[in-house]
Structure 1
């Protein structure tokens, strides 16, 4: 889907966020956005003080946001007028400051196809909006745009947990042995009560060693962490982030050494990720049981081209009284919409 929208409502009021991708060869997405807002703006902004954000790759170039040296990329007035009219009709303002490039072409030319727009209001919910070159993925041509929005939404606290993956098990074994020698000596167990007491002593000793942060480090849980991620990739990422910052800083200097370093580190990180993923896959295959063979086969034979489709399995819905399997994106979206948002019940007739 080229348009994704999410609506936030709370003490801060209402905030509607549109994630938009507009193809560079046509304005169909912008036309759909115009039709939707013309009929549903009261849902997106119920009150005059509510906010609306448009973010994404608009694939439009204009002097309002494009760099002066890219004036040859500016679109004709007929082609860009639809976007300009939309911005004017809904009183949208540029959030990402003009002149900041977001895309690096193969010819090492920096352009601005991506944009962030916000509706004009008495209060500004945007705290920060800028590109972060250090977060640019390897072999990617677009720069990440970081936008911080002030939303007074309560969050559950994130508790730190021990990172057993990074623990030094040789030090752990040595510390546990020393602790057991002082707190739980080897003895002959003659009763059930002595057995439970010995188990409790060993459990306490293990937990005390785990609680030592120098042996098993603490870390906050990350929702996006990958099981195959390791310290070598972490080091490569840090080196590449530094090189990306330098290359972006000296982007106007042709053949700067930082650009070569970014290319080399990007290729090295990409190949390292592929190797680590393959090793993790083989290690997982060696440890699966009989019940997981079908799952392994599913992972092996299913090569996704649309990752949104790969995450949502085929759905079953009733059409004209007949059970029907839905496999297309449009059909899945319709099935989910009808399931979560059924039509309202008709009121009972009076009397």
Structure 2
């Protein structure tokens, strides 16, 4: 579905179904179409045999490839195929309702990138997304007074190590660069205004700038231009739309054709497929398009976009026993714990009633499209009534969900509501690490994840200080207490103190497993913990942690490593052992008075609040 730009005179349109294959009725004299487009190799076996329009300025252009049946998908979406880059392109006409419908229709399991033109932008210059998408805005959109008319939503299933945003100084162009198997693809999402070509010029300059930076290696780079071009030409519009081929319209489209020839781009969407219906005239036209490099293949190693888990193991006897215990826990989880099905809805307020209404709206849209030549047919009015009912129901469900959440808050959930309000508005997309400025050389920009990781490592973990001079053994003080073995009761209490719903470590075993199975696991863990001190050995697997980088709240610039903070996700077994040892040390330190009396902070009953209360009590005691 899409709606066109209301500022363009001929684009006063209503919603038009294009994503559902059932909307293409058999009696149309048009090429058969699938539910989505895929980038394929323009081989002679799949080229359109019709004659191409004259090339601009006598430039040679290859005929556009068409999609053969074996390249199309019909009916229900197939399981994700990682060898394809799956893109959903749509103009939502700045409508929040349409963008919500898009987020619920485009499952991240089925699509890798959402290319949105004229997205919904609120007063804070933020769009709307879900946590399964990373939002890419035009360069400098927060500092520009011009409206943002292009955004890209990249699935979080794609590793951020293989893509990065490209800086294009235009609010109508959003671009990213993907590197897969040594092959680089520059994807540009454009909204081209009907009155000027500034977006085309900005995109062309960005491509030329990338070519100049790459130098001789530009032959390995490919391009994808897609979006709402607002251009009419016989090369892609139906011949019956000859009234759109005015001299001014052809001149506008000629600029686009020139750039397509300059960069050797071919039209991937077959000619004659409409993407838009004008509201006033009920005419079908083609302002949207997809162009890509002629050498772009459909079998690039997209599997490299997904990261693989890393496993660690050792050959020591202790580690072998520990590994058997970990395998037993993992096997029990696999056999007894069912998988949690992620919600099929991007928003918690989405319901089955909305899904039923959407199907009803799509059914009415197909009926309206079937009778498109009869403007007086009642199917058109039925479609509009159902469409309005669907939009109003979305607004009502969104507001009702938030109101019900606030009404049902209790002593625990009220803090969740407080966090929502304190954080302020956001686009709802997943956070990602932007390009960083090196602390050593601010002019050096770090773009890949390895360089960013090195920068964070040197920022978060300071180098160790110089080694201490050797100390004679007789200079150490006498031990104040003898360390005793960790008991089963200590381990059970440490497990009971674990907090639920926390992110697990590298082993992937959450705290809930130990909490619910503490009576079974306590004797096994106690034996391991006691052996740790008997052997004076700490396994390497417990030393590993997953450092997660979080943004510090309230910062205006996140292009430096100091604007972020780390948290460490440790193996839960190591956390239980650390908790047991910490309890022993705290008890002995407090019992034997090993800490100074004026030591506040890090002690039970000795926080900053306690110190203020002590000062207040002392002053009041003097007054009395």
Q: Fold-level match, TM-score > 0.5?
A: yes
What is the root-mean-square deviation of aligned Cα atoms in Å? 3.9
Q: Deviations over 1:237-280 (max 9, x none)?
A: 12222222333344344334443332122111111112211211
Q: Would the alpha carbon gap of residues 97 and 7 (structure 1) be closer, same or farther in structure 2, given more than 3 Å must change?
A: same
Aligned length: 236
- Summarize deviations over 1:105-151 as a string: whole Å, max 9, x none: 22122221111111111x5329xxxxxxxxxxxxxxxxxxxxxx983
1:62 equivalent among 233, 239, 248 = 233
Counterpart of 2:391 in structure 1 is 270
Q: Scaled by the length of structure 1, what TM-score is found?
A: 0.56
**1:50 & 1:290 partners in 2: Cα distance?**
50
CA contact (8 A) 1:57 1:115 kept: yes
Deviations 1:48-97 (A, max 9, x none): 35421101011111111112232222352433332111011011111111
- Larger RCO of the pair (alpha carbons < 8 Å, separation 6+): 2
- Distance in 2, matches of 1:154 and 1:81, equals 36
CA contact (8 A) 1:65 1:112 kept: yes
1:124 and 2:297 matched: yes
- Which has more helix, going by share of residues? 1
SS of the aligned residue for 1:152 comes to helix
How far apart are 1:47 and its partner, in Å?
A: 4.9
Match of residue 152 from structure 1:
303
Structure 2 equivalent of residue 235 of structure 1: 356
Question: Where do 1:269-308 residues align within 5 Å?
Answer: 269-286=390-407, 287=409, 289=414, 292-293=417-418, 295-296=420-421
User: 1:186-206 deviations in whole A, cap 9, x for unaligned?
Assistant: xxxxxxxxxxxxxxxxxxxxx
Q: Answer yes or no: is 1:40 the counterpart of 2:210.
A: yes
Residue in 1 that maps onto 2:271? 98
In structure 1, the partner of 2:173 is 3
Question: Are 1:243 and 1:261, in contact at CA under 8 Å, matched by a contact in 2?
Answer: yes
Structure with the higher fraction of residues in strand conformation: 1
Q: Rg: which structure is higher? A: 2
Corresponding residue for 1:113? 287
Kept in 2: contact 1:52–1:119 (CA 8 A): yes
Which position in structure 2 is the counterpart of 1:188?
Answer: none
Counting only pairs closer than 5 Å after superposition, residues 150-299 of structure 1 correspond to structure 2 as 151-155=302-306, 219-222=341-344, 225-286=346-407, 287=409, 289=414, 292-293=417-418, 295-296=420-421
**2: distance between equivalents of 1:41 and 1:255?**
54
Q: Deviations over 1:301-334 (max 9, x none)?
A: x7x9xx699x99xxxx9xxxxxxxxxxxxxxxx9
For the Cα contact (< 8 Å) 1:11–1:152, is it kept in 2?
Answer: no
- The answer to whether residue 174 in structure 2 is matched with residue 53 in structure 1 is no
Distance in structure 2 (CA, Å) of the matches to 1:94 and 1:279: 45
Whole-angstrom CA distance in 1 between matches of 2:419 and 2:183:
48
For residues 214 and 224 of structure 2, the distance between their equivalents in structure 1, rounded to whole angstroms, comes to 10
CA contact (8 A) 2:181 2:301 kept: no
- Any stretches of 5+ residues in structure 1 without a counterpart? 127-148, 158-206, 212-216, 318-333, 341-351
Q: Relative to structure 1, is the Cα distance of residues 59 and 335 closer, same or farther in structure 2, using a 3 angstrom cutoff?
A: farther
Cα distance in 1 for residues equivalent to 2:361 and 2:340:
25
2:243 is aligned to 72
Q: What's the TM-score, normalizing by structure 2? A: 0.33
Distance 1:152 1:289, change over 3 A: closer
Secondary structure of 2:230's partner? coil
Deviation at 1:41, TM superposition (A): 2.5
Question: What is the distance in 2 between the residues matched to 1:102 and 1:120?
Answer: 23
1:57–1:114 Cα contact (<8 Å) kept: yes
User: Deviations for 1:22-65, whole angstroms, at most 9, x for unmatched residues?
Assistant: 11111111111222222323568945354211010111111111
1:88 alignment counterpart: 261
